[in-house]
Amino acid sequence: MGYTITNLQEVKSIGGKNKATVFNKAGISSEEIPAKLMYYYREGVGTYLVWELSVAEKTSSDWWNFRVDASTGKIIDKDNWTISCNILGDHEDHAHASATPPTPFIGPMNEPVKNNAVVSGSFAPPAASYRVYAMPVESPNYGTRTLVTNPENLTASPFGWHDTNGDDTPEFTNTRGNNVDAYDDDNANNNPDGKYAFSPGGNLIFDFPLNTTYSAGNQSENAAITNLFYWTNIIHDVTYQYGFDEASGNFQQNNYGNGGAGNDPVNAEAQDGSGTCNANFATPGDGARPRMQMYVCNSRDGDLDNMVIIHEYGHGISNRLSTLGGAEQMGEGWSDYYGLMLTMESGDAGQTQEGLVLG
């Protein structure tokens, strides 16, 4: 791949039959680099013993997953966990990388991370309010912001959106929680650097002024981050009720004892500085945190375009649930459907639904 590796070190030895291990970022990755020994089958060729490892490139939004021949060190194949969608292009102009989960393996797999058990008894999350373009408003072109209180679904998020340990006190009073960490990444380093939206006084009221015309002098970061946090949680809660739950590999820090690997809420990066007029979603396997990058296009902030947010999150769902591939894989249509479903309004039928449909 032409990487210049610096100071490569093993930071965690997991062991087991597949000799799983984790290396540091080695100057090439924005995330630590996991590796594990696996069997890999190629039709017409046979079964290889391979090392599977992934690198989230520091110089691009690409997050590559590699299969490397364990005997020769040769890269057998690779796939990109990041799907990028040109939000201004039509169907033919869309630029999206081949972004598929690993081809199915045979052989030992890592055991899932153990999760905290659900605390028994009745519980009502503390009051939390968000001024956003609330469901089903698609964007500033189709409605106004409202202040919504406790929009979480208690089946999907039983302790509210700001909990991570299953008790009656939220662990965070900013835009962090069990399903998503939303933050500003204008410096494009894939780290929050404390750039969350903080509720004044820690009272879980996220009510910030907004200038819908993005400019260098008025970026309305807190309002944009709040909208991104709200919608990413909404998508989590809605799709949970249709089967995208912990055991199915959804995105949660704490799986509350309901199966799956946990430790993988979405890193939602608002006003990301690594690009423009685009958006993407990178989906590593269950137990590793996915990354959503929302960009600004001229004076338009993608963090306020709820159709785009839903579409990108939809790629995370389809990549966790299936093996996709090809330039026009079905995940594009599935993501469009999620966007249309969550922005439907009373009276919408057939071709009356308005808004941007991504290809």
Sheet with 180-184: list strands edge to edge: 82-85, 279-282, 291-294, 266-270, 180-184
**How confident is the model over 168-175, as a mean pLDDT?**
93
Residue of 99 and 171 predicted with greater confidence? 171
SS (H, E, C) 67-83: EEECCCCCEEEEEECEE
* Residue 228 · residue 303 · CB < 8 Å: yes
pLDDT at 87: 59
pLDDT digits (tens, 9 = 90+) for 230-282: 999 999 999 999 999 999 999 999 999 999 999 999 999 999 999 999 999 99
Whether 342 is covered by a domain: the verdict is yes
Tokens in use for 239? 């799709």
The first and second tokens of residue 347, run together, are 């009276």
Cα separation, 179 vs 263, in Å, equals 10
Would you state the structure tokens that stand for residue 218, as one six-digit string? 């008025």
Q: Is the separation of the CB atoms in 225 and 196 below 8 Å?
A: yes
Does the residue 97 lie in any domain? no
The dihedral sign for the CA sequence 321, 324, 330, 332: positive
d(CA 69, CA 49): 6
140 assigned to some structural domain: yes
Q: What is the pLDDT of residues 38-96, one digit of tens each?
A: 999 988 889 989 999 999 998 888 899 999 999 999 999 888 888 877 654 433 333 33
Q: Which residues form the catalytic set?
A: 312
- Does 134 map to a domain? yes
pTM: 0.80
Averaged over 87-112, what is the pLDDT?
Answer: 36
Residue 281 in any domain: the answer is yes
Domain CATH number, residue 135: 3.10.170.10
User: Between these two residues, 332 and 11, which has the higher pLDDT value?
Assistant: 11
Domain containing residue 177? 129-352
Please, which pLDDT band fits residue 349 given cuts at 50, 70 and 90? confident
For the cut 90, the answer to whether the pLDDT of residue 114 exceeds it is no
Q: Which two tokens stand for residue 26?
A: 């080695």
* Distance from chain centroid for Cα 240: 15
Read off the pLDDT of each residue in 310-316 and give the average, rounded to a whole number: 95
> Would you say residue 280 lies in a domain?
yes
Q: Mean pLDDT of all residues in the chain?
A: 86
- 12 is a domain residue: no
Q: How many domains does the chain have?
A: 1
Lowest mean pLDDT among 113-117, 162-166, 300-304, 326-330: 113-117
Please name which of 87, 80, 31, 24 lies closest in space to residue 308, comparing C-alpha atoms: 87
Q: Is residue 138 part of a domain?
A: yes
- Dist. CA 327–CA 98, nearest whole Å: 6
Residue 295 near residue 309 (C-beta atoms within 8 A) = no
What would the two tokens of residue 315 be?
Answer: 């790629």
